[in-house]
Homo-oligomer: A and B are copies of this chain.
Amino acid sequence: MISQFYKDMTGKRSVIRDFFDYSMQREKEMGKDSVINFSLGNPSVPAPAEFEKAMIDLIQNEDPVVLHGYSPTLGRPSTRQAIAESLNRRFGMDYEMKHIFPTTGAAGALSHAIRCVAAEGDEVITFAPYFPEYIPYVTGCGPNLKVVPADIETFQINFEVFEEMMNPKVAAVLINSPNNPSGIVYTTETIKRLASILTEKEKEYGHEIFLISDEPYREIVFEGTDSPYITAFYDNSISCYSFSKSLSIPGERLGYVAVNPKAKDADMIVPMCGQISRFTGHNCPPSIIQLAAEKVLDLTSDLSVYETNAKILYNALTEMGYQIVKPGGTFYMFPKCPIEDANEFCWTAAKELGLIIVPSDSFDVKSHFRISYCVTTETVEKSLPLFEKLIKMF
């Protein structure tokens, strides 16, 4: 019998999707130049040449039966070992292979991490603004997602409300820094305060509270930004990473779960991920991508265009009168709308100017909009007169 639950979901429209569809339609009717699209979070720079070279080397020199053969359930051992060593070298951690579980991107990593530490009836707390897919990731395995409203002055954590919302049902706290959509990076002070509250609450409730850290933008941090390695500050923590943005390979589906070696049952969590995979049909990420990424773990694509674009946009838009919390990384910023209704503001931008930006409501914040500036600097420069016209309309 056809599942009514999933069938009903297909009918629901996504606002981001509506804007994207409008931009496609406008391009078709009025030409490519009629649209400047800041709606999508797709990397705009190529993968490092070393990654492409590693792929070709593997195809030309490895035994294809091994190269394309099954990974062990927990992933390619050489890849897991190399990831542990890279993290230890770069962040002073003590990961061993047994703490690393390769996944199909951050989506796979989060789905596994959440199932490891939270179940039906538990609560998982996250902080607005947050990536809307957290809702299915969390609720899909049973727990309830509770959201701490945004501190729109800083987009750091609203600790007052957070402490009020803490209760013994909370099994995990889910954070995303550098943040999509705000571009904000949690400071060392924020992370220390969060860790200290969690430690205190663990004692009070008599059970562990896991910190799940979603870090696909970890490598995209701008000069001068304080960017702590989050899980180093709290023992019961799991880092969820993706190579989608750092290596510009989002379609190849590679990420990992890295379990803090000091976490409770640290040696059990990766084998548990292996079991969880069986229930979701996840299996390992692609073998050749694991083996190629292993060769370029300390490299990234040339990510400098994102910082260049951030500077140009931030300086020009604040000059025009937009209120923006200055992004410290990612390829997003999250300005305030000059009117309350973010949808009205963004539809005006789209229909009057062909400027495609995304209203903040999907991220559980009112009256803001997201600019995804993973585009060429030329496109950013072309957009500036449009942002100027836009703010003058209100």
Q: Which of A6, A43, A65, A104 has the most CB of B within 10 A?
A: A6
Q: Which of A347-372 contact B (CB under 8 A)?
A: none
Residues of B within 8 A of A112 (CB): 281
In the complex, A264 has a CB within 8 A of chain B: yes
Neighbouring B residues of A282 by C-beta, 8 Å: 104, 107-108, 280-282
Q: How many copies of this chain does the complex contain?
A: 2
27 contacts between A and B (CB under 8 A): A2-B117, A2-B265, A2-B272, A3-B119, A3-B272, A5-B119, A6-B116, A6-B272, A6-B276, A7-B272, A10-B274, A42-B65, A42-B69, A42-B70, A43-B69, A44-B65, A46-B63, A55-B55, A56-B59, A64-B248, A68-B252, A69-B250, A133-B278, A137-B278, A251-B284, A253-B284, A253-B286
Q: Residues of B contacting A6 with CB < 8 Å? A: 115-116, 272, 275-276
A283 to B272, CA, bound (A): 21
* CA A205 to CA B372, docked complex, whole Å: 52
Other than the given A7-B272, A71-B251, A108-B283, 17 more pairs (CB < 8 A) read A1-B119, A1-B207, A2-B272, A3-B272, A6-B275, A6-B276, A10-B268, A45-B65, A52-B64, A68-B249, A68-B251, A70-B250, A104-B283, A107-B282, A251-B286, A252-B286, A288-B289
Residue of B whose beta carbon sits closest to that of A290:
B251
For window 296-331 of A, CB contacts with B under 8 Å fall at none
Instruction: Compute how far the CA of A69 lies from the CA of B47 in the bound complex, rounded to whole angstroms.
Output: 10
Q: Are B107 and A279 in contact, CB atoms less than 8 angstroms apart?
A: no
Nearest Cβ in chain B — how far from A15, in angstroms? 16
Give the distance in Å from the alpha carbon of A366 to the alpha carbon of B287 in the complex: 35
A250 to chain B, nearest CB (A): 5
> Which residue of B63, B117, B253 contacts A1 across the interface (Cβ within 8 Å)?
B117
Give, as a whole number of angstroms, the nearest-CB distance from A282 to chain B: 6
Q: Cβ of A77 < 8 Å from any Cβ of B?
A: no
Q: Give CA–CA (A281, B287) in the complex, Å.
A: 18
Given contacts A68-B248, A68-B250, contact A3 B288 (CB under 8 A): no
Q: CB-defined interface of A124-142 with B at 8 Å, one 1/0 digit per residue?
A: 0000000001001101110
